[in-house]
Chain A
Amino acid sequence: MPTSVLWAVDLFGRVYTLSTAGQYWELCKDAQMEFKRVSAATRCCWGIACDNQVYLYVCASDVPIRCREEAYENQRWNPMGGFCEKLLPSDRWPWSDVSGLQHRPLDGVALPSPHWEWESDWYVDENFGGEPTEKGGWTYAIDFPATYTRDSKWNSCVRRRKWIRYRRYKTRDSWAKIPSKDDPKELPDPFNDLSVGGWEITEEPVGRLSVWAVSLQGKVWYREDVSHPNPEGSSWSLMETPREVAQISCGPHDLVWATLWEGQALVREGINRNNPKGSSWSIVEPPGSENGIMQVSVGISVVWAVTKDHKVWFRRGVNSHNPCGTSWIEMVGEMIMVNVGLNDQVWGIGNEDRTVYFRQGVTPSELSGKTWKAIVMSRESDRSYSGSSSSLLSAGCFFGDEVRGSGTESAPSDTDASSEVERRCPEQLLPEESLDNSQNPKGSSSPDPGTGRTSECTMENTCLAEGKGKASEASCLDERSGHTSTPVELPWTNIDLKEPKKVPSNSAAGLPGTTGLSSLGFFPLGMEEPYGADDHPLWAWVSGGGCAVEAGSMLKWFTVQSGLSPSVQMLSLSITPAQTATWRKQIFQQLTERTKRELENFRHYEQAVEQSVWVKTGTLQWWCDWKPHKWVDVRVALEQFTGHDGARDSILFIYYVVHEEKKYLHVFLNEVTVLVPVLNEAKHSFALYTPERTRQRWPVRLAATTEQDMNDWLALLSLSCCESRKVHGRPSPQAIWSVTCKGDIFVSEPSPDLEAREHLLPCDQMFWRQMGGHLRIIEANSRGVVWGIGYDHTAWVYTGGYGGGCFQGLSSSTSNIYPQSDVKSVYIYENQRWNPVTGYTSRGLPTDRYMWSDATGLQECTKASTKPPSLQWAWVSDWYVDFSVPGGTDQEGWQYASDFPASYHGYKTMKDFVRRRCWARKCKLVTSGPWLEVAPIALSDVSIIPESLDTEGREHSIALWAVSDKGDVLCRLGISELNPAGSSWLHVGTDQPFTSVSIGACYQVWAVAKDGSAFYRGSVSPSQPAGDCWYHIPSPPKQKLRQVSVGQTSVYALDENGNLWYRAGITPSYPQGSSWEHVSNNVRRVSVGPLDQVWVIANKVQGSHSLSRGTVCRRTGVQPREPKGQGWDYGIGGGWDHISVRANATMALRNMSWEQEAHGPGPVCC
């Protein structure tokens, strides 16, 4: 799970964040201002500062927020000067928008706010429908508004071209002021409360947000057009309310609740995708008449509230259909506020102690949770304060802290680290005690000692004594380093921070815009003491809207961690201390010595126990693939025996009875090439292939009654197969990786003669073993760097472990196995036919498809009967209408057509007699494997540079290019064998979203854009990892490209119709090549390796017994002078989806001369 942060504001208005993996509260990076409210989303946080203005904090990301501005230059031909800017009086502006209606001179296009900057100057768009115009971007037409063509014709009277300029949002990781709504004619009405949510109202990836705000006068405002590409939104709109509103809360989905000054709650109704602002309010009465609701917070289907007596309430029965819920339930605990974050997790701030509490045990089935648990993390600054005030902070100690905090865990050994911690502990406690002592006399003299909270009283007294309190609002006291309210017994509305007074110079450090390290210098011992109250942070507001805590996951916020217990270690690919610890090394060393001592000279002794045959038996079901074609119960026995050479071999016997005849079949496990789990809705089965059965496309299929039983058999058989082939441990860096359409991951060790010129190993003899985890795409490189992408677009990096998933125990490595999850959607279609009487209804013609069906219409799929794809998957959402289908939809998600099956469009015409809409439902799978998430950017494609096996060039970091799920092209920096996850992304600007990218061995980067054309990136090199510019390469005629793969020199591309194309004419001086040459059809995926070997996943391959879809195939006869090869060699099949041979640079030795030949006079020299 990637880390995310909880936002909070302390009593002084300072904003802090606490990471889910963190150990302390971190001061917000831009801490120039005090805040009274924050409301966080995943990528940003909105807040109200003490000037009552709204501010927006956009978190920095490797991918910039980028917006395209366009303008059109229009010209008309006249006989005198040809095409010129002189247009007819009736024509459009010479510079206009796309419609021609708006005048748009290039220098008139301004940045929307000071928080944006231009990325570059204006330039002409040369790309016209996937092809370069090659004529300065001009496109021609007979007249304005008309169809434009690429070429000028005799009747082309007008032409136009498009100018493009990108702007970027620049104010990131700092607070940007959002212009006030104030109309100069009216009195200013400052903001009082604010809430962000609504990102789940639509599934569209624009990242739309709902921002609701409340002013001091009790008016409700909605910020228009807030989305990821437009983080600031455009304007405030006033929302009518029946009465004056005090506070508001907006959930991630369609819940919006507000509180009224009188203590009732207002619930917004009618919020949906087309109307995120909702339509009406209804009133919900508070739980009791004497104590009205003070504050409310909503999630996806929960509402929590705090009444004026600080009691906490949970609203029962809230959901999209009934946003008001049914009744209040009182919860334990007294809070000043509660906040519902992601996954309906809940945080609160205690009334007595002002501590942030987390509601433990909130799960989808138990939304009210179990208990409040205090978050005891201290602030980053506290740690350094206590260090400095004890005057004993040595550089070493501080360094120790930093290491733990950032999780890099490079402490030299457990011994040293833990002893250091032990030494530190008493010192940290010391100053606290002394401070308490010094406060007690003051506290007892305070006028209100009854609260028993000496620290805050002290604070008050200090302020009053210094005479700096401003009586602007009785409850509001200025304080030297910030502002606070009197913390006890005041309604929330008074947590109101006034304009900060300029701090006296001697407390400049009170603006803690510095990190812990530099604050050390600012805080001399003597100054800190009066503010000892700081030691225990007192909180005013908390927001979990950006904090992803999965139900049931482990958080480390509740105990102060010390030492290096394994649970504290952050997930990181760096070597864990347990592995480097001296004790561990010592045990390995001593065991080796022991074996030497006790066995070396005695090997001729007889063994006490003789090895014997071991048989495991059991009952399974076996698919009888001839009459009667059904699953039959069988007895199976696995016999394992040890040969004289100590090698292990096994035979699997399957005893079956068909037609009352007892028969058996047997399989030598050393002949098995792959064991594939085949999970479906009902059956736990797996398929077993040998080379012969691969050729037949006819595996042995076995099923177990329970998942556990199947996993046991699968693990045992797989282990036996690996043993008989002596394959174990981590796959080699040259390994070939593949993924099935079920997301299962397989890996094969390439033998040297796999890519031999003669006598090559047929690829149906390759042995594949399964690796834990679930992926859609996998890519590898010969230096052992492997990346994968899940169905939910999450990027994963290989950790070097093996096993996981159903491979537990011996078939799994002890370390480097982590939990992994994946999410995908299941789609069904609702079909309707129009009839003249009732319009569209779910009564079709007798010949029609099912009214609820799959995409083809052949299978009936109703909401109730449709199950997740297999028992591994569980539903995690309800059915929702999918609006993002190709072709577009109307407002209710319908697509229209003249008849089934036909092409659908998103609007109704006279001729449309049928319509359909797509329903989606998300399901989730949880497994484990040697994979770690590379957060936070989701990917749709990835490519790692293929490298030859020589050590040349290994000092460079490993080049990796990727395409994000939004189509951004990215280049990963800092990847090495030791840090396969790399450090950061470099964004490579494009004029349109991309879909596929591939980098060749000589840094040739090719990519495919959404319009189906290809692009070549110029000047990419280790010193210029992102290259300089894109060269547009048209796709093959009438084809849209889908994928590209670049090997040593070869460039192959795949189009949407399954055609494989080879790029001809590539030379060092003209790396773009000259033309596409057709190689084959029937291809689903291509992978070109460092030897220019070409492997594909073929759509359909006919075997002697049956047909297989999704088959691994190798191009045969590929040679330097014949890079397109001659034919196909067919390997494992039946549901394969992806292959990467890009790590395999292993060649048989006798072919070395061939390789030199290839690289000497070859087409491209690196």
Chain B
Amino acid sequence: MSDDKDVLRDVWFGRIPTCFTLYQDEITEREAEPYYLLLPRVSYLTLVTDKVKKHFQKVMRQEDVSEIWFEYEGTPLKWHYPIGLLFDLLASSSTLPWNITVHFKSFPEKDLLHCPSKDAIEAHFMSCMKEADALKHKSQVINEMQKKDHKQLWMGLQNDRFDQFWAINRKLMEYPPEENGFRYIPFRIYQTTTERPFIQKLFRPVAADGQLHTLGDLLREVCPSAITPEDGEKKNQVMIHGIEPMLETPLQWLSEHLSYPDNFLHISVVPQPTD
């Protein structure tokens, strides 16, 4: 029988085959070939696209290059969302590879945050981690860690080192034995159909009567529209890491196994493909 540890591995080593093409209006000295890459689902676009940047800069003049940004079918891609989330939310029903357009001009200031350096990603990542631990353990675990542990978490993500990352991250996934789970589950629910960037509320893993809350319980509480009514047709997909966990799945288990490295469950609610 498979061990739950295998889920962590599968989640970590999730890859999205991606085809990067340069935006047609960018000025190039010669034709820019598309660039193919396997992107780690759990990482961030600007963290893993050094090669892409280099590839396209080769065909461009230095003065035409400013901050790189990415776009898929007209939507600018937020670098501070994990790649897997962006894919699930925007492109899960499209065919692979994922076609991303690369821009070097007209940075969409109102849609995207600037990403001046890797430090910005690190700062964002660590603040997410801290927020998640505030929800899970009143920040006790993350605060007890040493600076080098924090660094190891970040380096683990940056270098795609599963062991390095999980050697520390496991401490963030523990909870006191007398409890049945974390204090609150760090989660965010994203929908393409609403203006709101995401839903995030306080939600406990265990009900007052001791029953474990499930994914279904969470959705019923905070995002009822995502749930298919009993007699209705299924209109939405609820996705995490490209899969649709059953609504009966205990939320605590999901949080321990299907969270992104930032310790959040990023849940995408996307319309059911019609075909």
Contacts and interface: CB of A to CB of B under 8 A. Distances in A.
Interface of A: 414-415, 418, 554, 559, 561-563, 565-567, 575, 578-579, 581-584, 586-588, 590-595, 597-599, 601-602, 605-609, 611-612, 614, 712, 715-716, 719, 729, 808-810, 813-815
B48 A609 contact: yes
Contacts of A810: 5, 163, 166-167, 170
A606 B245 contact: no
B1 A579 contact: yes
B25 interface: no
Given A586-B245, A587-B243, A608 B43 contact: yes
5 A-B pairs with least C-beta separation:
A602-B17, A809-B170, A590-B243, A608-B48, A814-B4
A121 to B, nearest CB: 53
Contacts of B177: 554
Nearest to A816: B3
A953 B48 CA distance: 57
A601 B212 CA distance: 39
Given A565-B206, A565-B211, A594-B14, A583 B6 contact: no
B37 A583 contact: no
Contacts of A588: 2, 6-7
Interface residues of B, number: 55
A717 to B, nearest CB: 12
A599 B10 contact: no
A567 B39 CA distance: 39
Residue among B36, B163, B241 with max Cβ neighbours from chain A (10 Å): B163
A598 B15 contact: yes
B210 interface: yes
Contacts of A565: 180, 206, 210-212
Contacts of A605: 17, 36-38, 97
A602 B43 contact: no
Given A583-B248, A814-B3, A559 B210 contact: yes
B241 to A, nearest CB: 7
Contacts of B253: 578, 584
B121 to A, nearest CB: 13
Contacts of B209: 559, 562
Given A566-B180, A602-B17, A612-B159, A607 B245 contact: no
B178 A554 contact: yes
A763 B170 CA distance: 36
B113 interface: no
Given A719-B163, A809-B167, A594 B38 contact: no
B242 A598 contact: yes
Contacts of A815: 3-4
Interface in B235-273: 241-246, 248-250, 253, 257-258
B215 to A, nearest CB: 9
A418 B209 CA distance: 13
Nearest to A808: B170
B16 interface: yes
Contact of A561 (B49, B159, B160, B210): B210
Contact of B246 (A582, A608, A612): A582
B5 A814 contact: yes
A554 B179 CA distance: 10
Nearest to B156: A614
17 contacts: A563-B211, A566-B212, A582-B248, A583-B246, A583-B250, A590-B243, A590-B244, A590-B245, A602-B17, A602-B97, A605-B97, A606-B51, A608-B39, A609-B40, A609-B159, A810-B167, A813-B5
A583 B249 CA distance: 6
A607 B7 contact: no
A587 B39 contact: no
Interface string B1-36: 111111100110111110000000000000000001
Contacts of A582: 246, 248
A420 to B, nearest CB: 14
B160 A609 contact: yes
B123 interface: no
Contacts of A611: 159-160
Interface string B204-220: 00100111100000000
Nearest to B254: A587
Given A565-B210, A608-B48, A602 B38 contact: yes
Given A582-B248, A602-B17, 4 more contacts: A601-B17, A605-B36, A607-B160, A609-B43
B120 interface: no
Contacts of B17: 598-599, 601-602, 605
Contact of A595 (B10, B164, B180): B10
B141 to A, nearest CB: 14
A15 B181 CA distance: 37
A716 B152 CA distance: 14
A587 B49 contact: no
Given A582-B246, A608-B43, A716 B96 contact: no
Nearest to B214: A583
B161 interface: yes
A415 B248 CA distance: 7
Contact of B7 (A567, A591, A593): A591
B138 to A, nearest CB: 21
Given A582-B248, A808-B170, A594 B243 contact: yes
A565 B180 CA distance: 8
Contacts of A563: 210-212
A599 B14 CA distance: 8
Given A587-B243, A606-B37, A599 B3 contact: no
A587 B10 CA distance: 11
Nearest to A813: B3
Contact of B37 (A414, A598, A608, A716): A608
Contacts of A814: 3-5
Contacts of B43: 608-609
Nearest to B155: A614
A578 B5 CA distance: 14
A823 B258 CA distance: 40
Interface string B55-77: 00000000000000000000000
A602 B48 CA distance: 17
B180 A602 contact: no
Nearest to A612: B159
Contacts of A414: 248
Contacts of B241: 591, 594
A598 B96 contact: yes
A814 B38 CA distance: 30
Contacts of B37: 605-608
Contacts of B40: 608-609
A599 B170 CA distance: 27
A1071 to B, nearest CB: 41
A14 B233 CA distance: 57
A608 B14 contact: no
Nearest to A582: B246
A602 B242 CA distance: 17
A595 B13 CA distance: 9
Nearest to A587: B245
A814 B173 CA distance: 12
Nearest to A648: B163
A918 B96 CA distance: 77
Interface string B171-196: 00000011010000000000000000
Residue among A559, A567, A591 with max Cβ neighbours from chain B (10 Å): A591
Contacts of A607: 15, 37-38, 160
Contacts of B2: 588
Interface in B129-171: 155, 158-161, 163-164, 166-167, 170
Contacts of A606: 36-38, 51
A809 B257 CA distance: 12
A711 B206 CA distance: 32
A562 B211 contact: yes
Contacts of A567: 180, 210
A587 B215 CA distance: 13
A586 B244 CA distance: 9
A609 B261 CA distance: 16
